[in-house]
């Protein structure tokens, strides 16, 4: 098995674990609590034989995420991987924390619409339609804002204090494709000549951006 195959295999495995959805198929019973460790893999997850209330609850969103990273933001997910009772139910939540100046960079959710509720701070938020119209607004605590399924969107904390939101998705596992790291940090890498031509930049600039967005070892 080559290194490339190994990488692919590992990536495939993590793709399977970290991926997402929107407008999930309807359930065929009251509940089908995810058996996250099943050796059988299906669309979503097989169901556990037994469950209790803990399967429908979690405290992973209780504490602010650590925002002392390059982007100054952190997304914490309460999706089917953390709340197995969500399997087949078509909804999930995240919390997003932002340091002052922090950015949740342009990204898409391939399979979910997102609706945020601002817990604290102030954010400049926006999405871009397929006709390249930016729809944007400044939101403050108590405001809600909607990002339609599949469209590129972002949130930027241009305020002086931390910000935080609760984000709702109509999928048990909404997935996130962060544009910059998707293009400049993929494994194997996206060919340079795709990126130079798409962004009208030189190979040197591509190399520089790639080095900054390289996957963490």
- For residue 39, the Cα-to-chain-centroid distance in whole angstroms is 25
**For the CA atoms of the chain, what is the radius of gyration?**
19
Closer residue to a copy of itself, CB minimum distance, 67 or 87:
87
Near a copy of itself by CB under 8 A: residue from 74, 78, 96, 99: 78
Residues 32-51 that bind a copy of itself (CB under 8 A): 32-33, 35, 38, 40-44, 46-51
Nearest to 47 by CA among 63, 62, 27: 27
Write the CB contacts of 37 (distance below 8 Å, at least 6 apart in sequence).
none
Q: Say if residues 49 and 38 touch (Cβ distance below 8 Å).
A: no
DSSP code for 195: H
Q: Say if residues 77 and 111 touch (Cβ distance below 8 Å).
A: no
Task: Find the shortest distance in angstroms from Cβ 164 to a copy of itself.
Answer: 11
Per CB under 8 A, 122 contacts a copy of itself: no
Per CB under 8 A, 124 contacts a copy of itself: yes
Per CB under 8 A, 171 contacts a copy of itself: yes
For residue 153, say whether it is annotated as part of any ligand binding site. Answer: yes
For residue 200, say whether it is annotated as part of any ligand binding site. Answer: no
For residue 120, say whether it is annotated as part of any ligand binding site. Answer: no
Binding residues for oxalate: 104, 109, 114
């Amino acid at each position: 098995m080559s290194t490339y195959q190994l990488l692919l295999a590992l990536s495939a495995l993590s793709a399977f674990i970290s991926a997402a959805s929107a407008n999930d198929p309807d359930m065929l019973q009251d509940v089908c609590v995810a058996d996250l460790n099943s050796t059988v893999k299906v669309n979503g997850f097989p169901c556990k034989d037994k469950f209790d209330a803990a399967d429908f609850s979690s405290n992973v969103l209780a504490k602010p995420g650590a925002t002392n990273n390059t982007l100054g933001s952190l997304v914490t997910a309460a999706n089917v991987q953390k709340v197995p009772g969500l399997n087949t139910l078509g909804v999930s939540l995240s919390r997003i924390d932002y340091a002052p100046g922090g950015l949740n960079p342009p990204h898409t959710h391939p399979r979910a619409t997102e609706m945020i509720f601002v817990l604290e701070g102030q954010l400049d938020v926006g999405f871009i339609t397929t006709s390249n119209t930016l729809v944007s607004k400044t939101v403050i605590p108590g405001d809600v804002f909607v990002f339609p399924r599949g469209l590129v969107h972002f949130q930027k904390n241009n305020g002086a204090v931390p910000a935080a939101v609760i984000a709702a998705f109509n999928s048990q596992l909404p997935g996130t494709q962060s544009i910059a790291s998707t293009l400049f940090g993929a494994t194997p890498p996206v060919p340079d000549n795709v990126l130079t031509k798409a962004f009208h930049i030189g190979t040197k600039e591509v190399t520089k951006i790639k080095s900054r967005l390289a996957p963490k070892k």
